[in-house]
C-alpha cells in the first residue's frame, strides 16, 4: 500500500516542476557564491521632492550581474534569498554597502551630502536577524549617523510578528533612522498598525500609480492614501512615476515625494552622485 502511494506521488510530479526546482536550486547555490565573492552590487534610484524637484534621497537596489546568465533581476533572486535564508547575509551586505556609499559620497563632495539613503529590509531579516544591532554596528563602523538612513519594509514584515516588528522599528527610531512602509496597498496591514508604529513615510505601490494613466478609480485610491498619510503625519512617496503628467498630478494631489523612470532609473554610484550634482546646481 505504501509503495502504491509513493508511485502515485511520482506520477503527479511533473517534469516542469522538477525543472523549476532545479533552476531554483542552482540560483540558490550561485547566489551563495555571488554573495561570498562580492559579485552583487547596488544601484541607486533618486527620490525626488515633488514640489521642488530636489533630490531628497536614493533607494539602494540590489543588482546581480551573472557571468553566464547576464543580469538577474531582484524580483527573481530576492525571493530565492528569502526562501533559503540567504537574505540575512544579503541584507547585511546591502546595508553595509549602502552606508559605505554615503561615506564615500561625503568624502567626494567634502561635506555631508544632504540626502537620506533608503535600504530595503525583508520580513525574514526582521524575523531572524537582530536588525537594530546590525544597523547600529554598520553605522558605527562607517562613522555615519542614523538620520542619513531610511529603512524600507513591506507590510508582510509587520503582519508576521507585529510585536517584534514594532520593537525593531522603535530601536531604529532610537538611532534617528527613518522608516518607510514599502509597496503600500498591496498587503494586508491593519490601519491600526499604521497608527501605532513609528512609520515616517508611506510608499504608494507602483501598481496604483501606473493605473492612474487610464483608470479614474485608482486616483480615488491614491487620494484616500494621501489623506490617510497626511492625517497620520507621514510623508508619501509615489513609486513608478514614468511621465511628467503623473509627477504633476501626484504633486497636485499632495503627494510629497516621487520615484520613477521619468526622473531617473536606478544608477550606479558615480552616476547617482552626478545626478545629485546636476539637480542641486
Residues that bind ligand C2E (CB under 6 A): 45, 61-62, 73-75, 78, 91, 94, 120, 122, 152, 182-183, 206, 239-240, 242, 259-261, 266
Give whichever of 30 and 183 is closer to Mg ion, judged by the CB atom: 183
For residue 13, what are the β-bridge partners?
Answer: none
CB of 46 or CB of 144, closer to ligand C2E: 46
Say whether residue 182 binds Mg ion (CB under 5 A): yes
Count of CB atoms situated within 10 Å of the CB of 216 = 8
> CA-to-CA distance for 239 and 185, rounded, in angstroms?
12
Position 120 contacts Mg ion (CB under 5 A): yes
78 binds, among ligand C2E, Mg ion, none (CB under 5 to 8 A by kind): ligand C2E
Give residue 202's region: left, alpha or beta (phi > 0; psi -120 to 50).
beta
Asked if 155 interacts with Mg ion (CB under 5 A), we say no
Question: Is the CB of 30 or the CB of 155 nearer to Mg ion?
Answer: 155
**What's the closest the beta carbon of residue 14 comes to ligand C2E, in angstroms?**
29
d(CA 189, CA 191): 6
Q: Which does 13 bind (CB under 5 to 8 A by kind): Mg ion, ligand C2E, none?
A: none
Contacting Mg ion (CB under 5 A), which of 142, 183, 202, 258?
183
Per partner kind, with CB cut-offs from 5 to 8 A, the member of ligand C2E, Mg ion, none near residue 148 is none
The region that residue 143 occupies, defined by phi over 0 for left and psi between -120 and 50 for alpha, beta otherwise, is left
HEC string for the chain: CHHHHHHHHHHHCCHHHHHHHHHHHHHHHHHHHHHHCCCEEEEEEEEEECCCCCEEEEEEEEEEEECCCEEECHHHHHHHHHHHCCHHHHHHHHHHHHHHHHHHHHHHHCCCCCCEEEEEECHHHHHHCCHHHHHHHHHHHHCCCHHHEEEEEEHHHHHCCHHHHHHHHHHHHHCCCEEEEEEECCCCCCHHHHHHCCCCEEEECHHHHHHCCCCHHHHHHHHHHHHHHHHCCCEEEECCCCCHHHHHHHHHCCCCEECCCCCCCCECHHHHHHHHHHHHC
**Which range of residues in 88-96, 102-110, 129-137, 177-185 is near Mg ion by CB under 5 A?**
177-185
Instruction: Tell me the closest approach of the beta carbon of residue 22 to ligand C2E, in angstroms.
Output: 23
Q: For Mg ion, give the closer residue by CB, 152 or 235.
A: 152
Our CB check for Mg ion shows the closer of 32 and 82 to be 82
CB of 152 to ligand C2E, least distance (A): 6
Output the smallest distance, CB 191 to ligand C2E, in A: 21
Q: Which is nearer to ligand C2E, 80 or 144 (CB)?
A: 80
Least separation in angstroms between residue 261's CB and ligand C2E is 4
- Of 152, 246, 255, 276, which one interacts with Mg ion (CB under 5 A)? 152
Q: For the CB of residue 181, give the shortest distance to ligand C2E in the complex, in Å.
A: 11
Please say which residue, 11 or 71, places its beta carbon nearer to ligand C2E.
Answer: 71
Q: Contact positions toward Mg ion, by CB under 5 A?
A: 120, 152, 182-183
Amino acid at each position: 500500500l505504501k509503495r502504491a502511494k509513493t508511485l502515485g506521488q511520482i506520477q503527479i510530479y511533473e517534469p516542469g516542476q522538477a525543472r523549476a526546482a532545479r533552476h531554483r536550486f542552482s540560483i540558490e547555490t550561485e547566489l551563495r557564491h555571488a554573495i561570498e565573492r562580492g559579485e552583487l552590487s547596488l544601484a541607486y534610484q533618486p527620490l525626488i521632492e515633488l514640489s521642488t524637484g530636489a533630490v531628497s534621497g536614493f533607494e539602494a537596489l540590489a543588482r546581480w550581474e551573472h557571468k553566464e546568465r547576464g543580469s538577474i533581476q531582484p524580483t527573481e533572486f530576492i525571493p530565492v534569498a528569502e526562501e533559503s535564508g540567504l537574505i540575512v547575509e544579503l541584507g547585511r551586505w546591502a546595508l553595509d554597502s549602502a552606508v559605505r556609499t554615503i561615506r564615500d559620497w561625503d568624502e567626494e563632495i567634502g561635506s555631508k551630502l544632504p540626502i537620506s539613503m533608503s535600504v530595503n529590509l525583508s520580513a525574514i531579516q526582521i524575523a531572524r536577524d537582530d536588525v537594530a544591532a546590525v544597523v547600529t554596528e554598520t553605522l558605527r563602523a562607517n562613522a555615519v549617523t542614523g538620520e542619513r538612513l531610511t529603512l524600507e519594509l513591506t507590510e508582510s514584515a509587520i503582519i508576521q510578528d507585529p510585536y517584534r516588528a514594532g520593537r525593531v522599528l522603535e530601536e531604529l527610531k532610537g538611532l534617528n533612522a527613518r522608516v518607510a512602509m514599502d509597496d503600500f496597498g498591496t498587503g494586508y496591514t491593519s490601519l491600526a498598525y499604521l497608527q501605532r508604529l513609528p512609520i515616517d513615510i508611506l510608499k504608494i505601490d507602483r501598481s496604483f500609480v501606473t493605473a492612474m494613466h487610464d483608470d479614474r478609480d485608482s486616483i480615488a485610491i491614491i487620494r484616500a492614501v494621501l489623506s490617510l498619510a497626511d492625517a497620520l503625519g507621514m510623508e508619501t512617496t509615489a513609486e513608478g512615476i514614468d511621465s511628467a503628467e503623473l509627477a504633476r498630478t501626484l504633486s497636485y494631489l499632495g503627494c510629497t515625494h516621487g520615484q520613477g523612470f521619468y526622473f531617473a532609473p536606478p544608477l550606479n554610484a558615480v552616476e547617482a552622485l552626478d545626478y545629485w550634482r546636476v539637480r542641486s546646481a
